[in-house]
Amino acid sequence: MSALDLFSKRLLVVSGKGGVGKTVVSSALGLLAARQGKNVLLVKMDDQGRTSQLFDAPPLGDQVMALRDGISAVNLDPKTVAAEWIQAQIKFKRLVRHVVDSRLFESWFRVSPAIKEMICLGKVATLVEERTWWRQTPVWDLVIFDAPATGHGLGLLRLPEQASKLLIGPMRTNALAVQALLENPTLTSLVLVTIPEEMPVNEAVHFHDEAKAGTSVPLSCVVLNGAYPRRLQGASPAEVEAALAATAGEAALHALTGGRLAPEAARAALLRAAERDQVRGALTEHYRGELRSRMALPLLELPYVFAERFGFAELEQVAACLGDALRPAEAGAA
């Protein structure tokens, strides 16, 4: 079995700095797994409509909702999850409602974010372990947890161990079960997502180092999202400008713009685009090298997708690229 056999796991935890495309990557992983015959559940926290947009689906709620064949999703509401947990402990619905609606519960919930997050992690573990009542087989072949952004996500990964030392009774038992799941390399893998920019790369490296030193959660790979190719490798701006000014270049520009722009304006616009392409391509090369030198993890690349609206067609494009990236990485890791 290769080190990147992600879809043999029961839980994938996807983390990265806000704005790096973590939800896109977790959704693309889910789409790939579903197309391999897996029954997949995407678990979100504070989704804010992003997953619905990607799948052209209604907004997610705190109940599991089917998105496409083989893939469903849920947006965890901490208060609802807490009420479910309390009900599981005391069994009486009327009393649960009385507790949850009380001012004491509201105060506890507001000032104890760690307890709230621990309960949500417990819900993720419950979903991983959920089984059909008639055959006792897992309801979900794969659960993909779109975890909070890296700074907060690191604390979330450390939380079960810390909570198990502080809590007693059922909550300690719950924390120990979550910790065992997160640290089991047969069942769980952590996928880091970043983009070719200084702050996201530094944060990903910091997350990697802290996770390796301070947790036993198995890291599988890092995804470099939004990678730019260097289409004009080795060509200077002067050479590009000369090529555009040549007869063949002018003809190509005319065909490209349909004659809607004057030659000078079209040439200036394409030069700006070429310069931007060169800069972004160089940044991608630089940060690719940074990630490879600073992390002992397989690196998967996803290209920048140019689209006015990022919906299901674009998600399918990302999933196809991710599938292509996984194949050679798996072959190299075997």
- DSSP H helical ranges for 183-219: 198-214
What pLDDT does 156 receive? 73
Residue 182 placed within a domain: yes
Half-sphere exposure of 331 (CA within 13 A, CB side): 5
The residues facing 222 across adjacent strands are 192, 299
Across the range 243-270, mean pLDDT stands at 68
- CA dist 122 and 324 (Å) reads 34
Is the model's pLDDT at 77 over the cut of 50? yes
Residue 106 placed within a domain: yes
Report the chain's C-alpha Rg in angstroms. 24
Residue 254 placed within a domain: no
What separation in angstroms does the CA of 179 have from each of 34, 137, 162, 163, 265? Answer: 27, 22, 10, 10, 60
Residue 220 placed within a domain: yes
Residue 283 placed within a domain: no
Q: Which of the four pLDDT bands, split at 50, 70 and 90, describes residue 120?
A: confident
Q: Work out how many domains the chain is built from and give that number.
A: 1
Residue 253 placed within a domain: no
List pLDDT tens digits, range 158-202. Answer: 776 766 665 556 667 777 888 889 999 999 999 999 999 999 999
More confident residue, 213 or 85: 213
What pLDDT does 307 receive? 84
Locate 110 and state its tokens.
């507001």
What pLDDT does 279 receive? 81
For β-strands 11-16 and 142-146, DSSP reports them as parallel
Residue 28 placed within a domain: yes
Helix, strand or coil, per DSSP, at residue 80: helix
Is the model's pLDDT at 244 over the cut of 70? no
Q: Which of the four pLDDT bands, split at 50, 70 and 90, describes residue 2?
A: very low
* CATH value at residue 27: 3.40.50.300
Residue 245 placed within a domain: no
H-helix or E-strand spanning residue 277: helix 263-294
What pLDDT does 99 receive? 60
Is the model's pLDDT at 55 over the cut of 70? yes
**Residue 77 φ then ψ, to 5°:** -100, 110
Strand ordering across the sheet containing 11-16: 65-68, 71-76, 40-45, 142-146, 11-16, 188-194, 219-227, 299-303
Across the range 111-140, mean pLDDT stands at 82
What pLDDT does 27 receive? 97
Domain span including residue 48 = 6-231+297-333
